[in-house]
Amino acid sequence: MNTVAFADFRTYPLISALSGVQALADRVLATWADGRVSPFHHQWLRDNCPCPQCVYTVTREQVLEIVDVAQDLVPAETSVDSQGCLRVQWQDGHLSRFDPGWLRAHAYDDQSRAERRAGKPKSRLWKSDLSLPVFDYQALMNDNDALLQWLLAVRDIGLTQVRGVPTEPGSLKLIAERISFIRESNFGVLFNVQSKADADSNAYTAFNLPLHSDLPTRELQPGLQFLHCLVNDADGGESIFVDGFAIAEALREEDTESFKALCEIPVEFRNKDRHSDYRCLAPIIALDAMGQISEIRMANFLRGPFDASAEEMPRLYRAYRRFIAMTREAQFRVLTRLNPGEMWCFDNRRTLHARNAFDPASGARHFQGCYVDRDELLSRILVLQR
């Protein structure tokens, strides 16, 4: 038995067979052929029973709620059956069978949990010497293996370029939808990045745009941003990128107190025009449940006045000034010009982007952009992998 389909649509390889099981007062000890011993509490086993009474076979979502099972429920019998599955006959008559591949993948002994943490995808931090991942449009549109490699690079590096994209307006929509549906904002489904007299954002002007993430004024910043070059005949307008995670990690090593200030003290970002008024109060650096950097929220031109206590205000300014100064250091910056038919796709909650000023009198410059949420990227990767 190499892989076994399980209730959540995935398959789980048989890393090691179950060699024995021992019932204790509040748990079952499973022994594996490689010598590992994994405890499974009775509540956990009953809660995760995969039978059709507990999991609806169509949606493969749980219907059992553990509160409907007696808290002191214990097995009447436990064994490893002829197919190598853990078989639990409960005292109330219910039968649960657990595939050994699935059970090992979800074991919560210390060694198993450490393996899972070590196996999780990790961000690959980069500086100015980044070897930019470049992909071909036609390959991404026609080959799921190429598509998966692109999405993994977006996930792990946070900055990619696609070449050979058609320069007709709207072409961006086709490649973005290879991932998922597009996230609409007040700027539209696709937005046009070009200089205009009645601009409702500094992005739609010709002057320098400092390093920032898009829409930090939203509770959830867009995960991915796409920028597709249709025309770029104007002088100037080079793109600049920095890895916000790399800068945050460098700040954590250099000045722990400043790093903590940017993680702990919320800052308000505002985006307002004649018809809308968006505001979000959140720290500049967000950490996930494991204490790893998960998000950078930054756009100085959309920032409201700091609102911190008198004691915290100097600490916040010191940290904020240092973070901005680090984004200007050459060691962190990637500077390049986007040509017609080329497209950026980057993690908007990690990779800060900027644009040098350009001269609109020297030639036309027209980009189109859109957003896709990070959840859609991660979901698409998992589906392609399975």
What does the domain layout of the chain look like in residue ranges?
18-114, 134-385
Over range 128-139, report the average pLDDT: 98
Over range 137-165, report the average pLDDT: 98
- The pLDDT value recorded for residue 6 is 58
Rounded CA-CA distance 11/257 in Å is 45
- The pLDDT value recorded for residue 194 is 76
Rounded CA-CA distance 214/332 in Å is 19
- The pLDDT value recorded for residue 114 is 95
pLDDT at 275 over 90: no
Q: What is the pLDDT of residues 283-338, one digit of tens each?
A: 999 999 989 999 999 999 999 999 999 999 999 999 999 999 999 999 999 999 99
pTM of whole model > 0.85? yes
Between residues 316 and 234, which one has the greater pLDDT?
316
DSSP 311: T
pLDDT at 150 over 50: yes
pLDDT at 1 over 50: no
Least confident of 82-96, 140-154, 191-205: 191-205
Over range 360-367, report the average pLDDT: 90
Average pLDDT, the chain: 93
pLDDT at 370 over 50: yes
| Nearest alpha-carbon partner for 347 in 309, 297, 284 | 297
- The pLDDT value recorded for residue 4 is 47
Length of the chain: 386
Which fold would CATH assign to domain 134-385?
A: Double-stranded beta-helix (3.60.130)
Q: Do residues 295 and 263 touch, judged by C-beta distance below 8 A?
A: no
Reading the block at residue 164, the tokens are 């050979």
pLDDT at 196 over 90: no
pLDDT at 240 over 90: yes
- The pLDDT value recorded for residue 197 is 44
Q: What is the pLDDT of residues 12-57, one digit of tens each?
A: 999 999 999 999 999 999 999 999 999 999 999 999 999 999 999 8
- The pLDDT value recorded for residue 91 is 96
Over range 246-271, report the average pLDDT: 97
| Nearest alpha-carbon partner for 320 in 300, 294, 302, 348 | 300
Over range 373-386, report the average pLDDT: 96
The CATH number of domain 18-114 is 3.40.50.360: no
Question: What is the share, in percent, of the chain residues with pLDDT greater than 70?
Answer: 95
Over range 167-196, report the average pLDDT: 92
Rounded CA-CA distance 230/203 in Å is 16
